Amino acid sequence: MADNRRHAAVLGLTFLLLLLLPQLATALSKPDLLTLGSQIAIYAIAAASLDLLIGYAGMSSFGHAGFFGLGGYVVGILAFHAADNSLFLGIVPGLTDAWLVWPIAIAVTALAALAIGALSLRTSGVSFIMMTLAFAEMLYFLFVSLKTYGGDDGLGFRRRNALPWIAPRDDVAFYYVCLAVLAIFLIAMRHLVQSRFGMVLQGLRQNERRMAAIGVAPYRVRLAAFTIASAGAGLAGALNANLLRYVSPDSLHWTMSGDLMVMVVLGGAGSLYGAVLGAAAFVGLQSVLAQWTEHWMIAMGPILVCTVLVARRGIWGLLAGRR
C-alpha cells in the first residue's frame, strides 16, 4: 500500500514537472529546455516500448532504432512529396496532415516489424539480438543509399505535420502534443502489461518450457509483442521527425538502439514508467556533458555503470521502491 502511494507520488511529480516545463523555461529564460522536454517525451515513448520487450517479455532487441528511424522517414518522405507535388513510388501522393501521417507511420513500422520479427524470432538469445541488429543495419544502409531522400545527409522539411487547432510553428503547443501522446501511450502500455496478453508475455520471460507445457504458442505471442513495441518506436520516430523537421540515417543507427537500451536500464527495466526517468536522465546528462566535452559518451559510461551498481532497478526503483 505504502509502495503504491510512493509510485503515485513519483509519477505525479514527474508529470507535474513536465506539465510546468514551458513556464519553467520562460522563468529561467532558458528556451532550450522546451526542446529538451520534447526530446525527453519522445525518447520516453521509444524507451517505454523497448521496455515492453526487454523488461516484460525478456526479448533483448538491438534493432529498436530501425523502427524509430523508419517512423521518422515515413513523415519525412511524405512531407518531401507533398512539398514538390510528386508521387512516392509513382502512386502515393505526399501528405502533411498529422491525423493521416502518424497512423501511416505506425502502420508501416508495424508491418516492417511483423516481417522482421517473423524471421528474427525463429532464433533466441544472442542470435535474436544479432538478427534484430542486422535488420536495423539493413534499414540504415537502405536509407543511406536513397539519394532522392538525402542519403547520408538526411532529409529536412519546412513544416511540421498539421494538427487541428495548433499552429505549426508553436513550439510550446508541440511540446504539449508530445506530452499528451506520451501519457496516452503509457496508459495503453500499463493496460497491456496487466492484460491476459501481458501476463502470458511475462510468463514467457520467466520460463518458456513451462508456458509451452500449459498450452501457449510462444512464437505467436512474441511476434505480437515485437510488432506492438516496434510500432511504438515508429510513433516516437514520427514525433521526433516533427520536432526536428528533419530525419537522417543517424536515427536508425545501432548507436541509437544502444541509447534507447541505456534509457531503459537507467530508468529501470520492467517498470514502464522508468522509461520517462531514463529518457530524462539521458537527455539531461547528454546536454550537460556535451557542453563540457564532445566525447560525452566517455562520461556517460561510468555514470551508467554506477547507476546499475547502486540501483539494480534503475532510477525508478530508487525513487519508487520495489515493483
Q: Which of 90, 215, 302, 322 binds other proteins (CB under 8 A)?
A: 215
Q: Give me the least distance between CB of 210 and other proteins, in Å please.
A: 5
CA trace torsion 230, 233, 235, 236 (10° rounding)? 180
Q: Give me the least distance between CB of 270 and other proteins, in Å please.
A: 10
Q: Which of 216, 299, 304, 318 binds other proteins (CB under 8 A)?
A: 216
Grid cell 513500422 is found at 109
CA trace torsion 195, 196, 197, 199 (10° rounding)? 90
Residue placing its CB nearer to other proteins in the complex, 256 or 272: 272
Residue placing its CB nearer to other proteins in the complex, 151 or 203: 203
199 binds other proteins (CB under 8 A): yes
114 binds other proteins (CB under 8 A): no
Q: What is the 3-state secondary structure (H, E, C) of 131-179?
A: HHHHHHHHHHHHHHHCHHHCHHHCEECCCCCEECCECCCCHHHHHHHHH
200 binds other proteins (CB under 8 A): yes
Given the rule CB under 8 A, which of 10-18, 91-99, 208-216, 273-281 is the region that contacts other proteins?
208-216
Q: Give me the least distance between CB of 217 and other proteins, in Å please.
A: 5
Q: How would you class 114 by CB atoms within 10 Å of its CB: exposed for 0-12, middle for 13-18, buried for 19 or more?
A: middle
Given the rule CB under 8 A, which of 9-17, 44-52, 160-168, 207-215 is the region that contacts other proteins?
207-215
Q: Give me the least distance between CB of 205 and other proteins, in Å please.
A: 8
Give yes or no for a contact between 61 and 229, defined as CB atoms under 8 angstroms apart: yes
Distance CA 231, CA 214 (A): 29
Given the rule CB under 8 A, which of 93-101, 104-112, 146-154, 206-214 is the region that contacts other proteins?
206-214
Mask for 218-257, x = binds other proteins (CB under 8 A): ---x--x---------------------------------
196 binds other proteins (CB under 8 A): yes
Q: What is the 3-state secondary structure (H, E, C) of 1-52?
A: CHHHHHHHHHHHHHHHHHHCHHHHHHHCCCCHHHHHHHHHHHHHHHHHHHHH
192 binds other proteins (CB under 8 A): yes
